[in-house]
Structure 1
């Protein structure tokens, strides 16, 4: 009696999204739209490996600071020579090797030891480290300012929840230059993001706002007040979008700030302005050192360059700090006005030196990243994605009978040469069945080659039911 076959029942892996074909088509439409806009501004595409050397990641520090160590996925083979070694009983075993109690009857005179070597590769958890390494590695071949976009998966071992995944896409743009980077690019970033987000299929009715600040303004104020623990203060100010100002004030008291200093800091952080004139008027009562003045001038320039955007599309919000220390000037966040608690869907800023840990060059840059999967999943859950069929085909050419197979194939090829996506039915069967197939796959047109000599081609609109004579060389949708 044969042993019963064991069946493993597949189930989803938490934090690793997987879409059906119709959802994947919508996702590809989004990628195509984002790519078109990026390229319309002259950004070129690069793609880096899914893995980076751990030494490279540790040298840069990355996008998440110390917490990235907890979220990083390292790579190792199940029985890798990097971590394990099979040694004959007569060979000398290094002292730091640990015996693994596995007995292999095929090799009784060999034993398996753990070497204690650490993995050398990790899946990248952002696209900042890959860009920094790429720029340093290819420095002599690149043209500066280097304008690149990157649309790839990244991996983080965080707890999956709404809008948070362990494997997800980011769509990044950055401009990097040698020694200095014109402020022009700080203004170009939000203009690009607005163009993308305001016209993404399914996003037309969403109310979004790009919020901009300049870290030099708050940093300058803190320096002027003689505050030393600047990083800790900015970390709490950056939480004003999630915490009441009184709660933030309480935390600032807890780290030793005086009531007067807290009032001054919060008064500045709560300033919002749509124009440079409003910004300057709001800050005018604050004593300004050189760092503050520089930040105000830079933010004013950016706001002035964005006046062509719709009202309320972009606002200066001085509570936006971005908790990452490598940002040195302009910073961005993007939120849903109707759901600010969802958090930022697109963030970034200016950094003074992207690749200083990899090359002896000063490479300032500015960049912004769309949290693609986070944004896409929200619109998917709200059933706002563009409706499309399972198939990308525009036309299904039916097969009336086996004798017509060559005619079917020739008709399909003629239509493809004219730019249509065409699927051919795989076997001669009842016309009703072939029409049902087109209906299930969402193919909008069905093409009927002549059933008999002397008859015309016909095409059927599956939405309206209308059917008419047509020529493969001339027909248009």
Structure 2
């Protein structure tokens, strides 16, 4: 990442070679989502503050918008009239608003993907920024939404992540109905409090979670049940069902949640073995989730936390008359990129998209070099022209410093040189083709160092 004395923490700026990695990641996500029938959507960057605070994320630090000329009185009036604007902190809240406003123009179930920047006024740290890119996919129904979409989203996201060239990614899944069913059976009325506490298990540990559970009125023996449930994990559906059943509680909601989790794991094992793992401590702290919940981790980089999270929501979107149940997953793209860059997980084959650097014999003949460049570009070959008509050796060095693999020498008979191998051949700008692997920048995992 570029660093300078004017940098502002939490607002990442990538160097050109890093930007190539970012673009490759974004293109891969976009192409995969479209391959599965998701339509692209972009919403405005601002929402009314009242809208941003409406659905449970009140703890997020929202960046407010104001004109430099606004007085404190103007700002107070805007707040009192509900007209104060803030930058969106995620893509779910604006998407919910968009569906409500445009339901009459949408065909349900509506499948959308959205890749945009969002802003959060939180403390920057490893993998967490104040300005960052998110990539969301959601499926929303009108009145109802079939469970199979909850399975579909996990598999689509798993496919997208696998195409990035990262180490293996595991999506851990749970079902809110299981947690709520256990709470019903154990006589726990503070269900939302229990979910929020369990969501902190990985961060603060079981002892502190127990204290927090008891602080909201959950008895010690009830807290023990929740913590036992939270220890249940694995990829085999039968063992998960058996472990939950062994807790000794029954309810219709619990049975429904177990059936859905079983179906999720079995379908995942058929279509993407090793991708899905049940983890009953996954709760997701937001109160609008009602079914399957997801969190995703990169193998060997679990310290980064979940890179992709979401879940089923039945009551988030609605206009008072109609409900639009949905399921969604969100990737913290900048979060993933920060680790890719820091750990050198992916690197570009060269630092620029340029394939050919056309030399200039002298300034009087620059037009000939420009014509060659135009012919190559017309055939989809990224080309630049030398800045100065220096000696050819200096022009070759200029191309090498930029990482451009080929230098073109105009003449009575044109020649092109691969400056990596030194091979130089006669070429025609209307027919010459670079090797396929050089036509576009390749973003791949770096080769392993092999000791002799």
Shared fold (TM-score, shorter chain, > 0.5): yes
The reply on whether 1:461 has 2:403 as its aligned counterpart is no
Moved over 6 A (4+): none
Structure 2 CA distance, aligned partners of 1:251 and 1:50? 36
Call closer, same or farther: CA 1:114–1:300 in 2, change over 3 Å: closer
Structure 1 CA distance, aligned partners of 2:267 and 2:234? 14
**8 Å Cα contact 2:190/2:218 also seen in 1:** no
Q: SS at 1:168's partner residue?
A: strand
Q: SS at 2:138's partner residue?
A: strand
Deviations 1:9-56 (A, max 9, x none): 961011111122111121111111111111111111111111112243
1:170-185 correspondence to structure 2 within 5 Å: 170-185=134-149
Structure 2 CA distance, aligned partners of 1:161 and 1:289? 42
1:322-361 correspondence to structure 2 within 5 Å: 322-356=284-318, 358=319, 360-361=321-322
Greater Rg over alpha carbons, structure: 1
Structure 2 CA distance, aligned partners of 1:417 and 1:157? 46
**8 Å Cα contact 1:242/1:341 also seen in 2:** no
Deviations 1:117-146 (A, max 9, x none): 436211111101110111111111111111
Which residue does 1:222 correspond to in 2? 183
Deviations 1:256-309 (A, max 9, x none): 434432332222221112132232222232322001011111111111221145
**8 Å Cα contact 1:22/1:388 also seen in 2:** no
Structure 2 CA distance, aligned partners of 1:172 and 1:189? 10
TM-score (norm 1): 0.84
Q: SS at 2:329's partner residue?
A: strand
Which structure shows the higher helix fraction? 2
1:137-148 correspondence to structure 2 within 5 Å: 137-148=101-112
Structure 2 CA distance, aligned partners of 1:465 and 1:295? 64
Which residue does 2:160 correspond to in 1? 196
Q: 1:42 aligns with which of 37, 41, 64?
A: 37
Q: 2:172 aligns with which of 211, 232, 236?
A: 211
Which residue does 2:438 correspond to in 1? none
Q: 1:315 aligns with which of 277, 282, 304?
A: 277
The reply on whether 1:418 has 2:379 as its aligned counterpart is yes
Structure 2 CA distance, aligned partners of 1:52 and 1:376? 27
Q: Deviation at 1:395?
A: 1.2
Which residue does 1:164 correspond to in 2? 128
1:14-163 correspondence to structure 2 within 5 Å: 14-58=9-53, 60-61=54-55, 65-68=57-60, 71-80=61-70, 83=71, 116-118=77-79, 120-163=84-127
Which residue does 2:258 correspond to in 1? 296
**8 Å Cα contact 2:171/2:276 also seen in 1:** yes
Q: Deviation at 1:401?
A: 2.0
Structure 1 residue ranges without an equivalent (≥5): 1-8, 85-96, 98-112
Two-structure CA RMSD over aligned residues (Å): 2.1
Structure 2 CA distance, aligned partners of 1:56 and 1:254? 30
**8 Å Cα contact 2:75/2:84 also seen in 1:** no
Q: Deviation at 1:368?
A: 0.2
Deviations 1:388-425 (A, max 9, x none): 44421111111122343332222222212222111122
**Residue correspondences, number:** 427
Q: SS at 2:348's partner residue?
A: coil
**8 Å Cα contact 2:89/2:119 also seen in 1:** yes
Deviations 1:405-448 (A, max 9, x none): 33222222221222211112234222222212211211121112
Structure 2 CA distance, aligned partners of 1:447 and 1:303? 56
Call closer, same or farther: CA 1:254–1:138 in 2, change over 3 Å: closer
Which residue does 2:398 correspond to in 1? 437
Q: Deviation at 1:311?
A: 4.3
Structure 1 CA distance, aligned partners of 2:51 and 2:195? 28
**8 Å Cα contact 2:172/2:277 also seen in 1:** yes
TM-score (norm 2): 0.89
Call closer, same or farther: CA 1:416–1:128 in 2, change over 3 Å: same
Q: Deviation at 1:384?
A: 2.4
Structure 2 residue ranges without an equivalent (≥5): 435-452
Which residue does 2:151 correspond to in 1? 187
Deviations 1:194-230 (A, max 9, x none): 21222214x2xx2431100000001111012211111
Deviations 1:152-185 (A, max 9, x none): 1100100111111110110101011101111111
Q: SS at 1:307's partner residue?
A: helix
